[in-house]
Amino acid sequence: MSWLPGVVTTSAVADLAPVSGLAIALIAFLAGAELQWKEVRERGIGILKIMGSELLLSFVAMFAVIYLLRDRVPFLQGADGTVVIAFCVLFATVAIIHSPAVTMALLSETGAKGPVARTTLGVVLLADIAVILLFSGALAFARAMSPPAGGGAGLSLPMLAWEIGGSVVVGVALGGLVALYLRHVRSELFPFALLVTAFGAEIAHLAHVETLLTLLVAGFVSENLGGTAGVALRHAMERAAAPVFVVFFALAGAALGIGEVLTLWPVVIPLVLARAFGIWGGARLGARWAATSPDEQRYVWLGLISQAGVAIGLATIVADVYPERGAQFRTLFLAVMTVNQALGPILFRHALSKSGELAPGEAQPATTH
């Protein structure tokens, strides 16, 4: 049900459902395309240490809190132990993701290019890919432990292996074909961008592999093998995605029950604090492990609080797979994300200011935006 009667109707939400699928496909492709092999090669080890530490600690903290509060969480109430574990794993996996879009937007606005800025951007880009990989496994695990209504038996081990491994194979093949097009044709990139994501999502569906992972791999391969045309395709895809994302985020908001959110604050606040603690402890531990600069050890974690984009897509997928529990799952996650998205940009700008990386004239908050 829409909470804005007459603005976003229930029938409109149903009619626009295919747009959500296209938006999720675009998000996954763009996440892979944002990752540059050169950056991975030069700074990959240090970034992986920070990312691995903060994702692990954040996951453990989120899992522990939602499990302890399971009697207050709508989609866990009355569930048996297997279902509780499966959904706690799913929620913790989705909730640890960051927001590359917010990070890149703030870096573009401020002109920051120092070590804190570069490390933060590297972590959020790699974390997007890592979380999509983790989510693919977590969703397969949940479907095996708690098969969706009408979904038949859970996944077998061979099916799980194909769903994950086959996604990489299909994604590499699709990305290679896109790279060939970019090198030898390089025309009509705007419609081609939409065709690639829609076609790729359909191929993934027919091949019974994970759509997000397939398109993420395809985006990475096409961007890094397509030469300068790969960058042009990414920019064309970003332009094509803008109106699609408007509809997608509107649908996500329409699915958010305000009354339900208000009753969830006793759960939302502990989850927000647990995630912040995990990011703080994990990022500082990883930065010390990677022997980064003192500023990176102090401030990188502040740039990892924001959430958006891919996270909404993942929560939407859970809602599609599990219509009843998934809808409640998405409502709780969107409430948590709203708090993190409000605080994240403020904290990241503070980190850039304290580390002295703001461009001249950006040290003070802008007066006109």
CA 333 to chain centre: 12
Amino acid letter for position 289: W
pLDDT for position 7: 56
Domain map (residue ranges) of the chain: 19-241+260-354
Please say if the pLDDT value at position 115 is more than 90: no
Poorest-confidence range of 161-165, 251-255, 295-299?
251-255
- Give pTM, 2 decimals: 0.70
Please say if the pLDDT value at position 368 is more than 60: no
For residue 149, report the phi and psi dihedrals to the nearest 5 degrees: -60, 125
Contact (Cβ atoms closer than 8 angstroms) between residue 275 and residue 337: no
Average pLDDT over residues 254-274: 77
Poorest-confidence range of 67-71, 94-98, 342-346?
342-346
Question: Which DSSP symbol is given to 13?
Answer: H
Angle between helix 37-68 and helix 265-289 axes, rounded to 10 deg:
140
Average pLDDT over residues 42-56: 88
pLDDT for position 37: 74
Please say if the pLDDT value at position 158 is more than 70: no
Please say if the pLDDT value at position 53 is more than 90: yes
pLDDT for position 356: 86
Instruction: State the fold for domain 19-241+260-354.
Output: Na+/H+ antiporter like fold (1.20.1530)
Instruction: Please list, residue by residue across 206-219, b when 16 or more beta carbons sit within 10 angstroms of its beta carbon and e when fewer do.
Output: ebebbbbbbbbbbb
> How does the average pLDDT of the chain come out, rounded?
79
Please say if the pLDDT value at position 270 is more than 80: yes
CA 60 to chain centre: 18
pLDDT over 70 percentage in the chain: 79
Please say if the pLDDT value at position 227 is more than 80: no
The helix (H) or strand (E) run that includes residue 65 is helix 37-68
pLDDT-based confidence at 365, cuts 50/70/90? very low
CA distance 145 to 119: 37
Q: Provide the phi-psi class of 255: left if phi over 0, else alpha when psi is between -120 and 50, else beta.
A: alpha
Please say if the pLDDT value at position 84 is more than 80: yes
**Residue whose token pair is 């997000």:** 212
pLDDT-based confidence at 135, cuts 50/70/90? confident
CA distance 369 to 54: 32
Average pLDDT over residues 76-103: 87
pLDDT-based confidence at 160, cuts 50/70/90? low
Provide the 3-class DSSP secondary structure of residue 31: helix
Please say if the pLDDT value at position 305 is more than 80: yes
